Structure 1
Amino acid sequence: MSNIFDQSCLAIVTGTNRGLGKEIVHQLAKRITKPSCIVLISKSPETLKTNSESLRKQFPQHAFCTYACDLGIPSEVTDLISKLSEDLKAKVKQYEAAVLIQNAASLGRVDLTARDLDDMDHLQQYACLNLSSYIALHSMYLKLTSQQANLTKLIINISSLAASMPMPSTTDYCSYKAAREMALRVLDVENPDVRTLNYSPGPLESDMSEELKSKWTKKEATANWDYLTCEESVNRMMGILFENTFESATRIDYFDR
């Protein structure tokens, strides 16, 4: 079975300004052998501009398109979906593969237990960022690629063991990680022409892990974790995609061998 790295590719990646998402974009650009288009979606337009300019210098064979959007604000997500649908409907016909990598997510209120998690403004914003926008982007991708019969189609959800491992003070984080995995599994059942993967990157040296160390009610537990660099974890994910033998809709963790 061929992999995406040997094909010209339209790749859409969310949460690309830093950490894991930034490394995913870099690794895609380095490994895809044919001229391709990589779409970067993140909150900060300034960082998007800086990152995309650097990528264009390093990988002049590829095109890099940027879209600034706060995925936690419904009106911004609606505008993003409209722009992507319009801008990419002609582009997708030029490529042999289309990939959507859903990385954007947030940690949630790890300083609170379920008893105190009752701020509706937070809960609604968290739901939009971590699930509603995620599902809407799935919908956009499926509509965008629906008429492309010979297109290689792949959707990746950046997941976590938290999707199936309850931990104190992670009600919102664990709940939405589980919901994202189920949403992708349903999509997989409905769309047999789309390969899907839930990839769990392991504990990373990142801004999110620093937030966890400082705010989590059980932050002492983080001292015993074996942290990975984003490069290590993304290399593992790219190896899985290169081998391309995984069962669609499964979850693979960095440490699975």
Structure 2
Amino acid sequence: MRRACPSLQSTGRSGSSRCSGTMAGPASTDLGRALCVITGASRGFGRAIARDMSRLVKPGSALVLTARSAEDLRSLQVELAESEAGRAGLLLRCVAADLSRQDGLESIVRAAKEAFCEDMDHVVLVNNAASLGDVSRLASSFSDLTEVDSYLSLNVGSALCLTAAVLQAFPRRAGRRRCVVNVTSLCALQPFSSWVLYCTGKAAREMTFRVLAEEEPDLRVLNYSPGPLDTAMQAQARSTTADPGVRESFLDMFAGGRLLSCEASCAKLMTVLLEDRYTSGAHVDVYEL
């Protein structure tokens, strides 16, 4: 029997038992005058987030865009600068950084501080950057501690440390909203053969943000699962996944045109953020929306 691939199905499960967010009144039409920090912004889903957020923030806002590729960031900066928001004065800061290095994290926080104005009323951090890891092997082959530590440092440790640093840089204050988005996956909830690094990283990372939601009641925390996206990472999964059932599921979805576009999934994420009715810390799957 063929196994379902990661992020193919809606889980219908919540990641937190916290009370819901704002329930009364219509959804907002914008994110306010905001500072938005987006990791993994140069390509795929992160690039779609940057485009959508640039259209949803008020004048006087700033986007801090970070990724490893300086060239891809520059092309995104040019694109957004020429957009309606860019022409209206949206501040754009691009930081080419390695999130697994302390100096990389510090450069992002420094850029965020420089871009921030005291009259900004919303700070949004989107932890989107992630790597697939080696899916060509089974769990029993991972005996090198350095290899595993390196993966978890980039995919778990960096998200925790960057989030903590941003929250310290922009502490709780009257009139200031703060929101943290973790881009997660069904792999945070279900195991998939030959995906031990990715599943472990996503599960640990999601629990990180569930704990954060418990500790910071004023903070809005969202674990958003965007579904199977038509990206370079998905192409890598189709070609290198060791488990034949999982690989075949990916190939079938691609052949059947069932992959989601980054733009379609991102539009649903923006709706969730604008409505602001999700349970803080919850796992929200694109197929539930």
**TM-score range, shorter-chain basis?**
over 0.9
Deviations 1:38-62 (A, max 9, x none): 0001001121112111111113231
- Are positions 1:41 and 2:66 aligned together? yes
Q: Using the alignment, how far apart are the partners of 1:230 and 1:85 within structure 2? A: 26
Q: Is the 8 A contact 1:4 1:97 kept in 2?
A: no
Q: Is the 8 A contact 1:3 1:243 kept in 2?
A: yes
Closer/same/farther in 2, CA of residues 88 and 228 from structure 1, 3 Å limit: closer
Q: CA deviation at 1:3?
A: 4.4
1:256 maps to what in 2?
288
- Are positions 1:64 and 2:92 aligned together? yes
1:53 maps to what in 2?
78
1:140 maps to what in 2?
165
2:118 maps to what in 1?
93
Which of these residues, 82, 103, 106, is aligned with residue 128 of structure 2?
103
Q: Is the 8 A contact 2:179 2:221 kept in 1?
A: yes
Q: Using the alignment, how far apart are the partners of 1:159 and 1:4 within structure 2? A: 25
Q: Using the alignment, how far apart are the partners of 2:164 and 2:122 within structure 1? A: 17
1:80 maps to what in 2?
104
Q: CA deviation at 1:216?
A: 0.3
Q: Is the 8 A contact 1:113 1:168 kept in 2?
A: yes
Larger RCO, structure (CA 8 Å, separation 6 or more):
2
Deviations 1:63-93 (A, max 9, x none): 1101111223x2xxx2233334444336152
- Are positions 1:151 and 2:179 aligned together? no
Aligned residues: 253
RMSD (Å) for aligned C-alpha atoms? 1.7
Which of these residues, 140, 150, 154, is aligned with residue 129 of structure 1?
154
Identical-pair percentage = 31
Q: CA deviation at 1:147?
A: 4.9
Q: Is the 8 A contact 2:97 2:105 kept in 1?
A: no
Q: Is the 8 A contact 1:4 1:32 kept in 2?
A: no
Question: Unaligned 5+ residue runs, structure 1?
Answer: none
Q: Is the 8 A contact 2:64 2:112 kept in 1?
A: no
Which of these residues, 182, 186, 190, is aligned with residue 161 of structure 1?
186
Q: Is the 8 A contact 2:31 2:274 kept in 1?
A: no
Structure that is richer in helix per residue: 1
